[in-house]
Amino acid sequence: MIYSPTLLGMGAYVPEAVVTNFDLSKRVDTSDEWIVSRTGIKQRHYLAPGETTSDMCLHAAQRALAQAGLASSDLTHLLVATCTPDSYCPSTACTLSAKLGCHGVFALDINAVCSGFVYGVSLVRDILGGNQTAKILLVGADGLSTRLNWEDRGTCVLFGDGAGAAVFSVETAAKLAPGNAVVRDVRIHSDGSLGRLLHIDGGGTSAPYALGDTVGPEYFVRMEGREVFKHAVRNMTAICRETLEANGLAVADVDLFIPHQANLRIIEAVGEKLGVDSSRVFVNVDTHGNTSAASIPIAMTEALEKGRIRPGMRVLVSTFGGGLSWGAALLDF
């Protein structure tokens, strides 16, 4: 029997620099207690000077390829989900392809902000549906520390930098190894009418600039936190239910739930509404903060490394981000 798509390997990377809440309290009017009580975040990682999104992608990609037992020359497609590219042009995917030394591949950036990786899984499914010989690298990566307004303490404490990568192909069940998974379903939605709740405008055609202009708050993350919280909980809960019902499953059939790591209060609220016991919810927001498009693949990689995901388990992931966008994917390991 042919399974499509098949997850063959994963890898993650976070920069070396660890920034604690105490570190932030030296720069912002905040405290460890204030941040932890509202978000569950204790620390996060920031890009080093000169380090780029594609650099993070490279580290994560190399680890995913090694786990999959593939070389970069085996790849046919390379997708990078990010809202913080190295540059407007060329795409970060093209830059990454050069760093990996895989020339001639299909290389494309996608931007669904924090939902980018799950959106990418949907694209992977579509690509493999038309080309069952494809070998696809999907990377979710963001360096939002470069887009933080340090005068906005409610937002600047939330984000960290990182990258997570996954390799997909089509394989028969007989070839599946520990750590491999079949993507049983993936579902995505958006509501552009709510886009102003979470946005970065500066530099785009809606907020153009000229040589010599000063950099204003429009160049940094702006978010209506309470509204985003409500929509995140509501939509992540709804799409998880939609995905399970479409596959004839109940919450009890899920062995591990991996939600977008944005805020511990959101994670707990979604888990409570779904009726998922906390022992079946994976959380690493305390050590990484919100890494945007990297959130889901970093969490999946760490869950595999820590033995939280084992062969025979069913895993449900769900995400929410700017756009507004949200999604869920169901994987059988």
Active site residues: 114, 260, 290
CA dihedral 68, 297, 43, 203 (to 10 degrees): 120
3-state secondary structure string, 94-152?
A: HHHHHHHCCCCCEEEEECCHHHHHHHHHHHHHHHHHHCCCCCEEEEEEEEHHHHCCCCC
Dist CA 222 CA 52 (whole Å)? 22
Burial profile 62-79: b = 16 or more Cβ within 10 angstroms, e = fewer: bbbbebbebebeebbbbb
Half-sphere exposure (CA, 13 Å, Cβ side) for 176? 22
Residue in the block written with tokens 């895989």 = 102
**SS percent in the chain: helix, strand, coil, step 5:** 40, 25, 35
**Which residues are CB-neighbours of 238 under 8 A, at least 6 positions away?**
none
CA distance 121 to 10: 13
Place of tokens 């509404």: 273
Whether residue 3 contacts residue 174, with contact meaning beta carbons closer than 8 Å, is answered with no
* Count of Cβ atoms closer than 10 Å to residue 44 Cβ: 29
**Nearest by Cα to 56 from 299, 230, 255, 298:** 298
Question: Which residue carries 């978010």 as its tokens?
Answer: 223
